[in-house]
Structure 1
Amino acid sequence: MTSDIVVIGAGLAGTRLAVRARQLGADVTVLGEEPHAPYNRVLLAEVLAGRYGPEVIALPGTPVRRGIRAVRVDRTARTVHCADGGAIGYGTLVLATGSNPVLPPLLGPDAGELPDGVRPFRTMDDCLALAAAVRPGARAVVIGGGLLGVSAARALAERGAEVLLAQQGERLMERQLDAAAGALVRAHLEELGVEVHTECRVRRLRGPRGTTAELADGHVLDADLVVLACGVRPRTGLARSAGLLVRDGIVVDDELRTSDPDIRAIGDCAEHAGRVYGLAGPALEQADVLARSLTSPGPRYPGTRALTRLTLPGPLAAAHDAPPRQSRTGTVAGSRPLDLAVFGQPDPLPGDDVVQLADATRRAYRKVVVREDRLVGGVLIGDLAAVGALARTWESDEPLPSATPLLHLLTADGGF
């Protein structure tokens, strides 16, 4: 069997590419390793929380050959070999292999597979296994206070679990939020009953199910369930074994070509201009650019400049299909929803202008960073009325009007 375009990976990037390329008349075959229909990984926490069923987060209109694992790429014969013994020829191969969860060596050097009580939080199978294991009153330890860890902790708390979140860094979601914004997210989790420990390193997991956590300070936590949310790394093994250039990710140029011009890469596995984005927005943007490039030569990928939305699970999740630049908007759901948006570079450099407004009573917080005469980043929590205007201003990368006081950037219309 041969297909004009073969895509390895049925995540957001791979399925988006297939949909767009088919709309433009291309013959596309998508190989998906998971047995499930393609789904929006961003919304897995909604399934874990019991708010959505797996079918709700399925991606529509994406025919995929499910349960097919690609094991080798023969570049000379332009053929993908699969674990089931099958093979498929390609005109252009697209690697959309995504990323793997980081599994820290907490179980000792001789540990094999994870024990029953320890799960990552990355796939639908992980989500369903956690949902089956959790029950009201169960004790759960979540290791990692980034986006995945915060989402998992919130979801488990909503299922009635007693949750402790251990974050090695100084604050929650360090990559996305500044200190003040991180403190608001922490307060929200604590309101849901989550016990949050920052600057807290788990040194070891032990016990027959791996659910006894030893902390670096000597404390020992006995739990029923441990969730590993320690980040992800690009999945590059297939590319390496095929002899493609790989650094942190699979290296691609402005046309998303790898070191083999017949093989492209997009999404979490791709490294463009020295950067692996690891965000859904850039992955969707890359898929759209590549679909146009493969069907009508010309489009190039300039890097992520448009607005990206990465959603902490909640009612705003549907907005995740918007076009990208490096921004996050969403809702941390619970008894009191907490809306937040992050875009650009919210941590200022020396010489930057910073404008902040805070309302502790309403748990509202807004901050924007201006460098010379351009808006370069910001954080909004609790009230997103200005986010549309701010996003457009940041997206355009145009000078701010000289007559506009910077404080007006934080008004409901973004100062315009």
Structure 2
Amino acid sequence: MTRLVIVGNGMAGARLVSEVRARDKHVKVTVIGAETWQPYNRVLLSNVVAGTMLPDQVRLLDPAWYADHSVTALLGVEVTAIDRETQAVLTADGRREPYDVLVLATGSEAVVPPVPGAAGAMAFRTLDDCRAILAAAGAARRAVVVGGGLLGIEAARGLAGRGLPVTLLHLAGHLMERQLDAEAGLMLGETLAELGVEVRTGVVVEEILGDGVRLAGGETVGADLVVLACGVRPVTGLAGDAGLEVARGIVVDDEMRTDDPSIFAIGECAQHDGTVYGLVAPAWEQAAVVADLVTGADKTSRYRGSRLVTRLKARSVELAAMGETHLTEDDAEVVRFSHRARGSYRKLVIRDGRLVGAILLGETSAVGTLTQLFDRGSPVPADPAGLLFPGISGSAVAESPVRMPDAVKVCQCNNVTKGQIRACWESGARDVEAVAAATRATTGCGGCRDVVEGIVGWLCEQEGISV
């Protein structure tokens, strides 16, 4: 019997456990997680901060799941070393767990900027962080969030949604500079301002004080709650200490295997073909590949990289970005629509007749079809402007379930198509919860829930079924 040990019980590790069990009931599975929590959906933590979800609602696996599926789960246990010679992992509490196959799913950790006082601020990364932030927010009068990437924006919007005045400080010239161009970043800032978040870009934080932060130049921004969202870095120390190849992340091949053939790495700690992915969909794709290989379900399974679609999960802010969004008219064909008064910005980047990048801010109904074009590298229509406005008569884009092809990928996180949802419905799933249980659609970032509801509702309507 193969002994599989998984180090890390976050979104990648927990997914691997369930993928393995879906393929093989007999592999001996032990998962070791440093956090005491059952695995939870980190993508939805901003909803916990905003108060729209409770901690129990972001849980990925029910506590009884492990026993029901013969999985040994060691929670709140830190792995301190890998003994590659004897194939065992060592834990801080003195345990020695032997393995035939070891998978590292150690994830990433919050970056704490090297400024005085940073140790006294709160990071926004884990469920424990959320609970600490919420406890502090209850007594706070004003908050500062440092970092204008995805996490920082979600944290700032969540706190503002609780009625707390929030200032968002960002080093770069505009928000989400990796995913957005300058105009989109500016308009996103204006949207956030309307929701109660004061945005300041191009500022340098020099010190975190007990009553706020001090900026370069001496200005102080007052706050009694400071949240750091300055990015993350892969957790690679365990692999590096064991002599595995580490660059920015743990280096793996197309099988997600390290330079030790009995050790794999997946998720945010892994570096595949020079890239470390920081989103959930690639981690889950990688987990499926490793599950195929470990169980023998598909020995030809390989990971070929992911084409990323970034979705902002902040209440009342619709944003999606994908691909090469920074290309200009000098490098590609760019189709753009901007309406600042309405906070609407849409941009397509087309090269050689294919969609290579897109930004949708303010209204994202076209994201499903654009993602399909982006994923498949399919030719765009002769008049690509129609892609920006799904409701235009004759447009190639139709988000209505009636016109949506079965091959359209509805849930990006879990690679679920409209056809799979239809098949699930035909098998008896009559609501979103039943579809989610069968296909996992909506269980990642949750951004596809409205579309799934629309498909299920349309199917029920066709059959005269009331829901």
Report if the CA contact (8 A) 1:138-1:160 is conserved.
no
The aligned residue for residue 357 of structure 1 is 337
Report if the CA contact (8 A) 1:252-1:259 is conserved.
yes
Cα 1:375–1:387 change in 2 (3 A) is same
Specify which of 405, 409, 413 is matched with residue 383 of structure 2. Answer: 405
Matched to 2:324, the amino acid is Q
The aligned residue for residue 353 of structure 2 is 373
Could you say which structure has the higher helix fraction?
2
The aligned residue for residue 341 of structure 1 is 320
Residue 213 of structure 1: SS of its match in structure 2?
strand
1:69-122 deviations in whole A, cap 9, x for unaligned?
Answer: 1011000111011111112111110000000111011127xx8xx23xx11101
Asked if 1:59 is matched to 2:60, the reply is yes
Specify which of 104, 113, 118 is matched with residue 104 of structure 1. Answer: 113
The aligned residue for residue 311 of structure 1 is none
Distance 1:277 1:250 in 2: 12
Q: Percent same amino acid at aligned positions? A: 46
1:249-294 deviations in whole A, cap 9, x for unaligned?
Answer: 0000011111111000001000011111111121111111111122
Residue 283 of structure 2: SS of its match in structure 1?
helix
Calculate the TM-score normalised by the size of structure 2: 0.78
Deviation at 1:3, TM superposition (A): 6.2
Matches within 5 A, 1:199-348: 199-206=202-209, 210-296=210-296, 297-304=299-306, 325-333=307-315, 337-348=316-327
Report if the CA contact (8 A) 2:144-2:212 is conserved.
no
The aligned residue for residue 79 of structure 1 is 88
Give the unaligned 5+ runs of structure 1: 305-324
Report if the CA contact (8 A) 2:46-2:313 is conserved.
no
Report if the CA contact (8 A) 1:136-1:159 is conserved.
no
The aligned residue for residue 6 of structure 2 is 7
Matched to 1:69, the amino acid is E
Report if the CA contact (8 A) 1:236-1:246 is conserved.
yes
Matched to 2:20, the amino acid is A
Matched to 1:374, the amino acid is R
Residue 37 of structure 1: SS of its match in structure 2?
coil
Runs ≥4 in structure 1, deviation > 6 angstroms? none
Residue 180 of structure 2: SS of its match in structure 1?
coil
Give the unaligned 5+ runs of structure 2: 67-72, 398-467
Asked if 1:415 is matched to 2:405, the reply is no
The aligned residue for residue 316 of structure 1 is none
Distance 2:160 2:279 in 1: 25
1:296-326 deviations in whole A, cap 9, x for unaligned?
Answer: 211011111xxxxxxxxxxxxxxxxxxxx30
Report if the CA contact (8 A) 1:234-1:269 is conserved.
yes
1:6-49 deviations in whole A, cap 9, x for unaligned?
Answer: 11111111111110011111332111111111101111111111
Deviation at 1:330, TM superposition (A): 4.4
Distance 2:175 2:254 in 1: 34
Cα 1:127–1:147 change in 2 (3 A) is same
Distance 2:250 2:45 in 1: 26
Report if the CA contact (8 A) 2:46-2:314 is conserved.
no
Matched to 1:34, the amino acid is E
Report if the CA contact (8 A) 1:135-1:160 is conserved.
no
Report if the CA contact (8 A) 2:140-2:225 is conserved.
no
Residue 377 of structure 1: SS of its match in structure 2?
strand
Deviation at 1:181, TM superposition (A): 2.0
Residue 65 of structure 1: SS of its match in structure 2?
strand
Distance 1:169 1:344 in 2: 20
Specify which of 155, 159, 163 is matched with residue 158 of structure 2. Answer: 155
Distance 2:223 2:312 in 1: 30
Distance 1:387 1:370 in 2: 15
Specify which of 164, 187, 191 is matched with residue 194 of structure 2. Answer: 191
Calculate the TM-score normalised by the size of structure 1: 0.88
Deviation at 1:188, TM superposition (A): 2.1
Report if the CA contact (8 A) 1:157-1:193 is conserved.
yes
More moved, 80-89 vs 244-253: 80-89
Deviation at 1:167, TM superposition (A): 0.3
